[in-house]
Amino acid sequence: MKITAAAFCMLLISNTITPIQNDKVVQFDIGKILNARPVTTLTNNKLITWSKGIDGGGLGDGYLTLSAALFNGDKQPHALPDDALFPANGSHPEIQLHYSNTDSLHSQTCNISGEGGVEFYIPENKYKSVHFALTSSEGPSQLKVEFLYADDSTSSEDVVLPDYYDDILAGQHKPELCYLAHDLAKWGNKNNMTEKDHHNIDLLTIHPDPTKKLKSINIQKKKPGYLVLWAAAGEKVN
């Protein structure tokens, strides 16, 4: 096969752009705050049923991976993809969730019922955007997201996260939301489908001060709503 000079240059460019773009997105390690397993997985040809769900204070419902739903006998299920790395699209960068069909033990999300909060440290960098994969059930959740910078200064933003049944309104700018997973079914604690569609995992984007190195993030929630934090990631300035 002959490769022209122009084709070689295009190949070289394509092979150099992708790693640079990936280097700009940091999947934050939130393992220390994960406390729930709301996703049923198919592990070693066996359903590992969710144990702390996405609704009803953690007792109501959960999600299934696609392989788990098909193994369960559900027809054309609106389930989570087996690959928990959600690819980049026109609305967001790639986002890594924490469930896996190869893992039957570890927690997958951080769930907050009632009033409460969490804090986690991140690799110190200048970030232009921070993305949070979230669901709120039992109504909206009122959140305060605070950024702590390397110089010990802070900035914060108050956000009302809509219920995960609600559609994101076209043209909505505040809060800055898009779908990470859209139109999902949900299942009860015996993996019985309770609703076939219309549930979402939302992706909230907040912009910290891009001139300062960010070192930690604190999320505080008021009493209404039941919050699930699925993942967080940042896009570096450079």
Domain 28-236 has CATH 1.20.58: no
The model carries a pTM of 0.90
- Whether 104 shows a pLDDT value over 80: the answer reads yes
| Helical (H) or strand (E) element with 15 | helix 5-23
d(CA 50, CA 38): 5
| Residue-wise pLDDT tens digits, 57-93 | 999 999 999 999 999 999 999 999 999 999 999 999 9
Q: Which DSSP category does 13 fall into?
A: H
In degrees rounded to 5, what are phi and psi of residue 178? -145, 170
Domain locations in the chain? 28-236
pLDDT score, position 171? 74
